[in-house]
Amino acid sequence: MNILVVGSGGREHAIVTAIAKSPKADKIYCAPGNAGISRLAECVPIKAMDFDALVTFAKENSIDLTVVGMDDPLVGGIVDKFEEAGLRVFGPNRAAAILEGSKAFSKDLMKKYNIPTASYETFTDPGEAIAYLKTVRFPIVLKADGLALGKGVLICNDLSEAMKGVKSIMQDKQFGSAGNMMVVEEFLTGREVSVLSFVDGKTIRIMDSAQDHKRAYDNDEGPNTGGMGNFSPSPFYTKDVDEFCQKYIYQATVDAMAAEGRPFKGVIFFGLMLTEDGPRVLEYNARFGDPEAQVVLPRLKNDIIDVFEACIDGRLDQIDLEFESDKAAVCVVLASDGYPISYEKGFPIKGLEAFDGKQDYYCFHAGTAFKDGEVVTNGGRVLGITAIGSDLKEARAKAYEATGWVSFENKYMRTDIGRAIDLI
């Protein structure tokens, strides 16, 4: 099979790596890809939002399956374009991708179908939002309605912070048009857990749990990022938690989307908060998480192409997902210092060859490019260093060991990824 992956980050590198393990994969392309992905796939210089060029490329190169990794093209309707052209594509269509594209939609969906989540209100007028904020208990959460690269969430501890947040989101448009509408949400406390799932419109299959670290600095301080590290499975995702979520959240979400005339095919990412009153949905994403994919997919035992095709064809009920249950994974993100606010790029990366031939070690490229024959930094999150171990503590020790194998100017990482493991 000829396969095209759309995207350019660590998530897409993890997807390409999983696809490359399949005997069904004859030729892999990635648009636009990055320096690391180019070792496994032929990277083509087509932007993820250039749907017409991607469709033309898929036709001219006899692409049998396209896998879309990024949220922007999914919400923008890339799957619809491919399906209209008679091409097989993995991911939700535009009507279903609204599950991530609009936080207001997803909150209303959960309310309508009694899927447990935080209480909330939505606003399109900044003045009305501020008037409401004068009546609430703090802390409170402000969320830009649309896509914001995983950063459109502000936790405000008092009214002054909240008013600044409203100005930032709705008036200054810090997150662009994503802030045309804003969700004000109850602040929940507990353990955050991420659960990815495959969905074929009616059947859902859950992947192993993971736990993200969204804040830029140690001790969960600083601004929100796209994710500074991850580990899987989460020891806090217990059998009781899973049984609750299976009953009240996972299938309920799939059924709700179908009932709304928006059957979902692809990956649903469930961002959960494990509160004292039980699990609550914080957010949905309509694709693989990043860096969640970097700790979950390396432990997937199934041929991922079989799973993709089962989702497309509505045969997911015939698939039993299997993961290396006796293994754990930890990913530490190496970022450019100053991310996510401002940072320099273009610095040469040294030591990448240290990962060659190393079993249970992965170096997923997120923001890299070639310059004058060298691999250089080309983004805020540069590399995802992932290690597999017999348990989480071993995987974490190996991941941090491996972060020392590579170097670049401005290299920054959190030093406490997975520290919660020590609290068990």
Asked if residues 76 and 51 have their Cβ atoms less than 8 Å apart, the reply is: yes
Interior angle at CA 8, CA 149 and CA 35, nearest 5: 135
The SS3 assignment for 209 reads strand
State whether 267 and 205 are in the same domain: yes
Final residue before a domain boundary, out of 140, 169, 186: 186
The SS3 assignment for 401 reads helix
159-196 tens-digit pLDDT: 999 999 999 999 999 899 999 999 999 999 999 999 99
325-342 tens-digit pLDDT: 899 999 999 999 999 999
Among 103-117, 212-226, 309-323, 325-339, the minimum mean pLDDT is found in 212-226
206 by Cβ neighbours in 10 Å (0-12 / 13-18 / 19+) ranks as middle
275-293 tens-digit pLDDT: 999 999 999 999 999 999 9
Task: Please state the domain count of the chain.
Answer: 4
State whether 166 and 214 are in the same domain: no
State whether 215 and 310 are in the same domain: yes
State whether 196 and 314 are in the same domain: yes
Asked if residue 258 is part of any domain, the answer here is: yes
Q: How confident is the model at residue 224 (pLDDT cuts 50, 70, 90)?
A: confident
Bridge partners (DSSP) listed for residue 365: 383
Whole-angstrom Cα distance, residue 142 to residue 82? 35
State whether 181 and 195 are in the same domain: no
Count how many Cα atoms sit within 13 Å of the Cα of residue 420 in the half-sphere of its side chain. Answer: 21
What range does the domain containing 313 cover? 191-318
- In total, the chain counts a number of residues equal to 424
194-221 tens-digit pLDDT: 999 999 999 999 999 999 999 999 999 9
State whether 241 and 258 are in the same domain: yes
Asked if residue 174 is part of any domain, the answer here is: yes
The CATH number of residue 88's host domain is 3.40.50.20
State whether 74 and 140 are in the same domain: no
Six token digits for residue 65 = 């399956």
The CATH number of residue 336's host domain is 3.90.600.10
Final residue before a domain boundary, out of 290, 318, 346: 318
The SS3 assignment for 174 reads coil
Asked if residue 181 is part of any domain, the answer here is: yes
State whether 276 and 195 are in the same domain: yes
Q: How confident is the model at residue 152 (pLDDT cuts 50, 70, 90)?
A: confident
